[in-house]
Amino acid sequence: MTMHTDLITELEQATEQLVGAATGADWTLVETLQKRRRALIQRLGTDLKPETWSASERQRLQHILEQEGHAETRAINERTKVLRKLQRLRAAEDGERQTKPQDNPGSAHTAQRMRKAYGNPGQDQGGSKTS
């Protein structure tokens, strides 16, 4: 196998794992795989010239891009769901504060944990992005 083929094969494997992790909502693994993939992509970009890639290698890279798109779409959809849930929790907390003098500690704790994990809705956290 050539260096081209080895790097592309490693990138294919990492991308397949990335798609599986995104499908299973294992965002910690997605982040780890993104770091691995980023290193592979950098090696492809610095060590190899695109004009030396064969048609087969270009086709394999195109397939990798399509898989990345699926994983990224999954991540965006999941983040949207989490943000909507957080907004509902905030709205419920606001309603409870208006009707009751004491807050529901379970609801507040859940919202606090989600804020810590996902940041504030409407603000781009600059999370990992596929290359």
Residue-wise pLDDT for 50-97, tens only, equals 777 888 888 998 999 999 888 888 888 888 888 899 998 888 887 777
- Domains of the chain: which residue ranges? 3-118
Residue-wise pLDDT for 4-39, tens only, equals 788 889 999 999 998 888 888 888 888 899 899 999
66: left (phi over 0), alpha (psi -120 to 50) or beta: alpha
The number of helix segments (H) and strand segments (E) in the chain equals 4, 0
CA dist 128 and 34 (Å) reads: 7
pLDDT above 50 (res 3): yes
Rg, Å, the chain Cα set? 20
What is the structure's pLDDT at 21?
87
**Reported confidence tier of residue 118, pLDDT bands at 50, 70, 90:** low
